[in-house]
Amino acid sequence: MEIKKTTLNGLFIVHPSKFNDERGFFTRIFCKEKFSDIGFKNEFVQSNYSFNLHKGTIRGMHFQKPPYNEAKLIRCIKGSINDVAIDLRKNSPTFLQHYSIELNESNILSILIPEGFAHGFQTLQDNSVLLYHHTQYYTPLAEDGIRFDDPILNIKWTLPPVMVSNKDKSYKLIDNNFKGIIYEL
């Protein structure tokens, strides 16, 4: 397993080692010791499964407000997605920058998203499935989001959006007065 930095401060891509034989393959997707080597000492307390029926579906851009902010480990276990993370940390050198990566069942990559980021994705195939691991429990009163089509963020989605929930469409656009969310870096 190799964990590589991205262009965003604190955001990592997990490259698992794949061991193939006549039965298929085996890979390790999480190792506390390896994650500790990059400074990740949090504990995953909740895992979620997301099934997405249609190609072009967008979910996001979601986060939980402090003190319920959470880190996430995301993996696409069936199909393919364009995964996007946005740095919302007020004092970060990569504030309001985003990072996109294709996660799919073939490349078996994962993305480790730190606290203080918004997260979302677009499905690139029908019947795509994701597995999420969270460091905080889902807290409805702390839930928030940013619009997936915010012009300030200028996210280049791979496909035209075909399905977006009303809730995700209703998140506010960022304006020039947006100061970010205060997280410790």
What is the set of active-site residues? 62, 132
Residue 86: CA atoms inside 13 Å, Cβ hemisphere, count?
24
User: Helix-strand-coil percent breakdown of the chain, rounded to 5?
Assistant: 10, 40, 50
Measure the CA–CA gap between 42 and 35, rounded to whole angstroms: 9
Of 42, 95, 97, 90, nearest to 70 by C-alpha is 42
